[in-house]
């Protein structure tokens, strides 16, 4: 079954053009707005989540025929079916949605079941730009492709993980999945994709290099990076930093992910990797000044944009094209001002200054892209 799934999904991937749209900057800013609002509030304490069962075997088996949702028509097309078919969605979480504080508390999601999984086709990245000096980047996934390694290479700490992505699949209602989409900018800039997931045995201390359990399929929201060999890479649609791995997440944001990994009982080896990711820290006075000036210049503008977003968004959480276009212009301005003025004058707002950020790493467990739809 696994080989058939790999052949099917690989052919689907070859047909699908995962190039970004201008809405992606809006999606990133929506994520930024959520995180920025959360960071200004006291932590949203939630009661310890009850231990949830794993999805039934029948539900896992039925997932093998599922296809990606069209996010543009998700609410109108699928929500009416829920009362008749009692359909649920198997949703793969890998970032801050692992954390109860975020997923259960702030987003108000009520999962029906959950299962820790291995995802051979994906890897964790932090390549979604945020706001310099404050929230430099956010978690994302990228396609995991085996690359030849003839000799040890220099690599960032966050890129040291060479095994498959580790995450949690939640079974949620269609209504809750629609809410997840809405809180990610209404799906603007994202694709719903279906990936092959392999259950991880409870209390697994080490992550296997290759899965040994039968696959099932789960949905996740995927924000593709531009093809580096394509002219569309620099078309202004999605901001693409010169080195996508350069930025470090804030300590606050990374803590949500590591807390979630503990709460979900992810393997100790993976937790150790997450805890070893270096976070952005201001180490010089000029950076503190730069942060204050930068936020005082840009946050009022961003706040106004989010007022527009709240005022004009539709029932799916999506804003009209003109609002999305304004977000793209503003987000370009944020990073152009940082690259052209703030970084040369005030110092690095993406990565901690004054520390060695690269080290020699050998060839780790690899993988081939085989089961991404």
- Categorize the per-residue pLDDT at 185 as very low, low, confident or very high, splitting at 50, 70 and 90: low
Q: Give helix then strand counts, H and E, for the chain.
A: 11, 9
124 is in an annotated binding site: no
Percent of the chain with pLDDT over 70: 69
Which of 31-40, 55-64, 178-187, 299-308 bottoms out in mean pLDDT, i.e. has the lowest? 31-40
Average pLDDT over residues 282-301: 95
The pLDDT, as a whole number, for residue 269 is 95
Helix, strand, coil proportions of the chain in percent (round to 5)? 40, 20, 40
Is 17 a residue whose pLDDT tops 50? no
71 is in an annotated binding site: no
Question: What is the model's pTM?
Answer: 0.81
Closest CA to 31 of 156, 139, 155, 154: 139
Q: Is 361 helix (H, G, I), strand (E, B) or coil?
A: strand
91 is in an annotated binding site: yes
Asked if 216 and 63 count as a contact pair (C-beta separation under 8 A), the reply is yes
26 is in an annotated binding site: no
94 is in an annotated binding site: yes
The pLDDT, as a whole number, for residue 18 is 32
The residue with greater pLDDT, 356 or 317, is 317
Q: Which fold has domain 2-282+356-361?
A: Hypothetical upf0131 protein ytfp (3.10.490)
Percent of the chain with pLDDT over 90: 44
- Categorize the per-residue pLDDT at 25 as very low, low, confident or very high, splitting at 50, 70 and 90: low
Q: Give the start-to-end residue ranges of the domains of the chain.
A: 2-282+356-361, 285-346
81 is an active site residue: no
Asked if 159 and 235 count as a contact pair (C-beta separation under 8 A), the reply is no
Is 187 a residue whose pLDDT tops 80? no
The residue with greater pLDDT, 89 or 157, is 89
Asked if 163 and 367 count as a contact pair (C-beta separation under 8 A), the reply is yes
How far is C-alpha 155 from the geometric centre of its chain's CA atoms?
21
| Residue 253 to residue 154: CA distance in whole angstroms | 25
187 is in an annotated binding site: no
| Residue 190 to residue 332: CA distance in whole angstroms | 19
The pLDDT, as a whole number, for residue 181 is 84
Is 9 a residue whose pLDDT tops 50? no
The number of C-alpha atoms within 13 Å of 39 and in the hemisphere containing its C-beta is: 16
95 is in an annotated binding site: yes
Is 64 a residue whose pLDDT tops 80? yes
- Of these residues, 67, 184, 358, 359, which one is catalytic? 184
The pLDDT, as a whole number, for residue 136 is 93
């Amino acid at each position: 079954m696994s080989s058939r799934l790999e052949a099917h999904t690989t052919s689907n991937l070859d047909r699908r053009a995962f190039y970004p749209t201008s809405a992606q900057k809006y999606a990133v800013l929506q994520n930024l707005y959520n995180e920025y609002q959360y960071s200004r509030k006291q932590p949203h304490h939630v009661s310890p989540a009850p231990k949830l069962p794993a999805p039934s075997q029948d539900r896992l088996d039925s997932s093998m025929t599922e296809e990606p949702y069209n996010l543009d028509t998700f609410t109108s097309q699928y929500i009416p079916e829920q009362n008749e078919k009692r359909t649920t969605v198997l949703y793969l979480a890998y970032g801050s949605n692992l954390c109860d504080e975020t997923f259960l508390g702030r987003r108000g999601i009520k999962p029906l079941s959950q299962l820790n999984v291995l995802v051979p086709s994906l890897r964790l990245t932090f390549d979604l730009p945020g706001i310099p000096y404050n929230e430099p980047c956010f978690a994302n996934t990228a396609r995991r492709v085996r690359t030849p390694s003839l000799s040890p290479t220099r690599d960032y700490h966050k890129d040291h993980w060479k095994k498959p992505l580790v995450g949690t699949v939640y079974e949620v209602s269609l209504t809750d999945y629609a809410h997840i989409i809405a809180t990610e900018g209404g799906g603007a800039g994202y694709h719903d994709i279906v990936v092959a997931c392999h259950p991880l045995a409870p209390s697994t201390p080490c992550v296997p290099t290759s899965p040994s359990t039968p696959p099932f399929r789960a949905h996740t929201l995927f924000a593709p990076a531009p093809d580096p060999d394509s002219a569309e890479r620099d078309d202004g649609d999605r901001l693409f930093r010169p080195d996508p791995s350069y930025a470090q997440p804030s300590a606050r944001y990374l803590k949500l992910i590591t807390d979630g990994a503990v709460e979900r009982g992810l393997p100790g080896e993976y937790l150790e990797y997450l805890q070893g990711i270096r976070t952005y820290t201001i180490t010089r006075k000029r950076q503190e000044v730069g942060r204050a000036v930068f936020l005082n210049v840009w946050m009022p503008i961003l706040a106004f944009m989010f007022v527009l977003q709240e005022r004009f968004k539709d029932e799916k959480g999506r804003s009209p094209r003109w609002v999305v276009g304004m977000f793209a212009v503003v987000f370009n301005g944020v990073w152009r001002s940082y690259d052209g003025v703030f970084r040369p004058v005030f110092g690095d707002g993406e990565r901690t200054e004054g520390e060695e950020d690269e080290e020699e790493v050998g060839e780790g467990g690899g993988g081939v892209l085989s089961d991404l739809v």
